[in-house]
Amino acid sequence: MAGFRATDKALFPIKNIKTVVQLFRNQLEHSQEPDLSLLSIVAGVIENSLTSRSNLQICEPVEHNCLPNLDLETITLMYSKFQTIIKNAVEVNKQRKYATRELVKKVSDVIWNSLTRSYYKDRAHLQSLYSYLSGSKLDCFGVAFAVVAGCQVLGYNDVHLALSEDHAWVVFGENGSETAEVTWHGKGNEDKRGQEIGKGVSSRSWLYVNNKPVVCTRHMEVAALVSAINPSLNSNQDAYEVSELQQELLWLLYDLGHLKKYPMAIGNLGDLEEISSREGRVECRVLFEEAIKSSRSYYNNQHVYPYTYQGGYFYRNKMYKEAFESWANASDVIRLYNYSRDDEEIYKEFLEIANELIPHIMKIESSGFSANTILKKPECFAHLLRFYDGICQWEEGSATPVLHIGWAKPLVNTISKFDADVRAQVNILCDTVQDGAKKNAGICNNNNNNNYEKENGAQTETKDEKDTNFPTIEALTAACSEKLLNP
């Protein structure tokens, strides 16, 4: 059983980040299960006290880093409150080893029905059990996490959190073979709580990552709650102590091996390292590469965010050719999905890259001051075509259109910045490979070694490679922009 043990209680009152890390280390390294409700309450109290307006002025700097006094009393009260809510509401049939769908649905109902009637669901700091216990508010992730923590309280250690890039649900039963929705997704969609995860059209949507979710162990559920810590004070400031705590805890989880199969958590750590790097740690660029390797190794390269984490890093550091390659690799992931109305988050991601970031790069690069401009590099043109082609293919076979005229102007603008002699150096080698879900004559750069290239056999080559009896880039560009201009 998990639990709030004497060794943990001895750490209170907690006055600094080092002691919080020690509490997490105790829980993670102890042979028994880490206690999700205890750790979520502790993380939530710290986050909320350091990011809420009320506390700003009175946060006295206790020792060098200023944490509010975390006393045992406060934490124990909330910890027992959660136990009581769950145990009083759900009678447990102790004969059963595994949870049933009814049990999971019942725990979800207890959480669901105790939430405040209506509140702004996308607000920050609504992810922890502290938010649930002190304000009866949770966000979409928070509900799923609370259900898993609730099932842990009841002794069902088969119930685990399953995470896609924009949704969360649970797995349970023998070898976690059963799945169930336990929370809502997006705005204005009926929740599907209790149902098993989409077998229908939604299974081809990015939202369910082609059934390659991150299925958490207890330790990875701790990584999820740490990843969900939100240090933001407001839209352009972070509470320093909260992001420092998050970074320390992510390194603890990293060192213990619990981020190996969790690309987004590695990406989160990469972002924090870019902002303030730790002595003696790998540099953030390596972390972004590790997140990509993790997705390729454990999730059949079906996740997009590892590439957009990396692309964002390259973009911020003015490494534009590398950014184009990361974004083209992200596009190679999305091309195999069908776009559905639940995929707005990733749609916005690609829209921002195509219509804000790439045009911004083209503006800088064509201002004539960049000596070794990317506009002279055929591989940059190849990456861009692969990027756009992936989005075109994402749309193919989807019930919902992706592209509209708003995409065309930036696209044509971007492509036309490359001179004909540069474009002519890019060959499109296409062979249409009938692949279960999507035919394609896609473009992919022969530098990326993800399985897409092997599966589909389409590459681009620069001039000095094979000869050119293939449709020229002009033909493809014209076709692509033709399609865009006359959908």
| Nearest-approach distance from CB 445 to ligand 59V, in angstroms | 20
Output 68 or 267, the one with its CB closest to ligand 59V: 267
Output 167 or 377, the one with its CB closest to ligand 59V: 167
Helix (H) or strand (E) holding 46: helix 36-51
Output 257 or 280, the one with its CB closest to ligand 59V: 257
Output 80 or 237, the one with its CB closest to ligand 59V: 237
Contact yes or no for 438/396 (Cβ under 8 A): yes
From CA 101, how far away is CA 99, in angstroms rounded?
7
How far are the Cα atoms of 117, 154, 225, 439 from residue 377, in angstroms, in the given order?
A: 56, 60, 43, 29
| Nearest-approach distance from CB 409 to ligand 59V, in angstroms | 24
Residue 172 pairs in a beta bridge with 178
| Nearest-approach distance from CB 174 to ligand 59V, in angstroms | 25
From CA 23, how far away is CA 27, in angstroms rounded?
6
From CA 375, how far away is CA 254, in angstroms rounded?
39
| Nearest-approach distance from CB 288 to ligand 59V, in angstroms | 9
| Nearest-approach distance from CB 308 to ligand 59V, in angstroms | 4
From CA 452, how far away is CA 420, in angstroms rounded?
28
188: left (phi over 0), alpha (psi -120 to 50) or beta: left
Nearest 5 degrees, angle CA 398-CA 403-CA 405?
150
Q: Write the burial class of residue 3 (CB in 10 Å: 0-12 exposed, 13-18 middle, 19+ buried).
A: middle
How far are the Cα atoms of 139, 167, 175 from residue 179, in angstroms, in the given order?
A: 20, 13, 11
| Nearest-approach distance from CB 264 to ligand 59V, in angstroms | 4
Residues 6+ apart with CB under 8 A from 247: 269, 272, 273, 276, 278
| Nearest-approach distance from CB 231 to ligand 59V, in angstroms | 12
Output 141 or 324, the one with its CB closest to ligand 59V: 141
Output 163 or 374, the one with its CB closest to ligand 59V: 163
Output 159 or 264, the one with its CB closest to ligand 59V: 264
List of residues contacting ligand 59V (CB under 6 A): 140-141, 163, 166-168, 224, 227, 264-265, 267-268, 305, 308-309, 312, 349
